[in-house]
Structure 1
Amino acid sequence: MKQTLKVATLLSLSTATLFASGYRIPEQSLNSVALSAAYVASANGADASYYNPANMAFMAEGGYIETSLTYINLPKVDYTDSNAARNGDSKEENFLLPNLHYVSPMVGNWRYGLSIVAPAGLSKRWDESYQMRSSEEFTLKVIEINPTASYKVNDAFALGFGLRGVYTTGVIKNQ
């Protein structure tokens, strides 16, 4: 019985985490979009300031900058139920998400970075009354400013530091 309770608790906690990631946008640079965020540990462009600040110390000499604007389209959803009163349509949603990453040239053993990203957000709005009872609109907007620094201890080891400032707004509306 205790084992069943442990497994049930673990599963319930993990599903909450999975649902919460529905509005997360993990790809925060051109390389992460191309590689589905699979290269995070070895980020070697300006986006290292966001994904792996310690790695900035091992980048080739010079400064780096990357900026992008990602377009996301969430198409209209047509929901059909066996009970016609529950049928409904959502609105089409369009989003532009900016990203900016900067890594400074080396200053002694130090290198500095800055990232401004939109790591989560999106929206879904419904047109039909049945769906609007529980979720007429759910909108989440998140902007993150992330200043970072790296210190090169030796040719094989570096330390990375960063602060994350996150600004979030949201709208939850139902009838």
Structure 2
Amino acid sequence: MKKVMLKTTISLAVAMASSQLFASGFALNEQSISGMGTGFAGRSSSADDASTVFGNPAGMSRLKRQQVTGGMAAIDASTDIKDTSGSRSGTNKGDMVPFTAVPMGFYVKPIDDQWAFGLGVYAPFGLITDYENSFQGRNFGSKSEVKVVTFQPTVSYAFNDKVSIGFGPTINRISGVLESTLNTPFTATDGQVQIKGDDIGYGYNIGVLVQATDTTRVGLTYHSKVDYKLEGHTTVSPGAGTPTPVMKGARYDASLKIQTPESLDLSVTQELNDAWTLYAGTTWTRWSRLKDITVNNEGVTVAAGGGAAPGAFTTIKEDQNWHDTWAYAIGTSYQLNKQWVLRTGLTFDQSPTNNTDRSPRIPTGDRTIFSLGAGWSPTEDLTIDVAYSYLKEEKVNINRSNSSPTASPLARSYNAEYENSANGFGVGATYRF
């Protein structure tokens, strides 16, 4: 028997929600329901509740009471797929993103006038796309589901009543399942390649908050990159008609090295009067780290001289070539009375993908997001927040091809126009004690 290395390449659809979530690439914004109401404008400078553990750990210095903030955001996404063509027949229903919920939870305890301690559990990245079995582009991605869950202990220190800093290490667990239809000339029917893996990576968040004037706060937050080496298995299930010398259904040790990108968030909170507050912010994300993705599977064997090229089970590396992105948001809140605050926001978010390398796993374009929200405080100890967001993406094109000399003529191309939209709903609560 002769050993070879099977390389199954996948576009990185990493995490827990959908490609239509409310941040670019596979990042998630859903770490605060109060922030969701203003389109996450002012995320680094508002420090309204314990979710500032993520938004800006320095903001814990503004919270004078011990408190817990928790919530859940749900996403209902839809996709219109048009102008399809390709070497294979199939369907294009566009309902590949299931209804998905993203939970979050935070705790902050002031220690004295200068120090505060906090904890956070949240999802910073996420995606799921799950196409129908007959999807026309199934050779380029039939299912992608990866979850990143982060635990963040945090401390903040206030130098005075104007300037504070905060820092928190992050412990991040990533797990995922990625599937594609097997791309080989030797099968009479479709086979499948399924990849599963997980890892734990470490990073940190650091922030500074400045009370520039009596009515103006400026916040800056840095979220570090995180390195992962996912360890798991690749399961190959060839279709009917595969020659005997070629590997039958088998499982192989798999590994994948990836980095989730660093980001920098700058925002301003401006109190206009006792009722109105204005928020503005911008976020830079270093998506250019994602050039390509390759999963390496060890222990693949074929019979020497079997007549079936090992390359028949080796897909070509799938380039990503993502670019850095900027997001811009502006929002406002209105304190209607002691119990109620109303919020709204508008966000413009660039997509890191390009027209050449975009795949069905993350078929996204630049997006515009409109948000509404409200906070109700029936007592001084309790606030209940709700939020709604509507996302609309520009139309984008998918033009995928596999030019491998061993690729089946029936599986070499998929072309389509995607138009994505989504409705987001959030509900959360803060309890102070």
Same fold, TM exceeding 0.5?
A: yes
1:123 partnered with 2:128: yes
CA distance in 2 between counterparts of 1:156 and 1:129 reads: 57
In the superposition, the TM-score normalised over structure 2's length comes to 0.33
Partner of 2:322 in structure 1? none
Q: Does the 8 Å contact 1:134/1:174 carry over to 2?
A: yes
In the superposition, the TM-score normalised over structure 1's length comes to 0.78
1:57 to 1:83, Cα distance in 2 relative to 1, 3 A: closer
1:79 to 1:163, Cα distance in 2 relative to 1, 3 A: same
1:106-138 deviation digits (Å, cap 9, x = unpaired) = 335210011111122121111224211111111
Report % sequence identity. Answer: 26
CA distance in 2 between counterparts of 1:167 and 1:38 reads: 28
1:58 partnered with 2:62: yes
Amino acid in structure 1 at the alignment position of 2:41: A
Q: Does the 8 Å contact 1:79/1:87 carry over to 2?
A: no
After TM superposition, list the pairs within 5 Å mapping 1:98-109 onto structure 2: 98-107=103-112, 109=114
1:160 partnered with 2:166: yes
**Would you tell me which structure has more strand in proportion to its own residues?**
2
Decide which of 86, 95, 100 is 2:100's aligned counterpart: 95
Partner of 2:155 in structure 1? 149
Q: Which runs of 5+ in 1 are unaligned?
A: 1-18
CA distance in 2 between counterparts of 1:162 and 1:145 reads: 10
Task: Give the deviation of 1:22 after TM superposition.
Answer: 2.5
Q: Does the 8 Å contact 2:26/2:127 carry over to 1?
A: yes
Task: Give the deviation of 1:92 after TM superposition.
Answer: 4.5
| C-alpha RMSD of matched pairs (Å) | 2.3
1:66-102 deviation digits (Å, cap 9, x = unpaired) = 1001111233x45343548364224351212111011
CA distance in 1 between counterparts of 2:178 and 2:154 reads: 33
1:129 to 1:43, Cα distance in 2 relative to 1, 3 A: same
Q: Which runs of 5+ in 2 are unaligned?
A: 1-18, 182-433
SS of the aligned residue for 1:57 comes to helix
Structure showing greater Rg = 2
1:82 to 1:37, Cα distance in 2 relative to 1, 3 A: closer
Q: Does the 8 Å contact 1:57/1:106 carry over to 2?
A: no
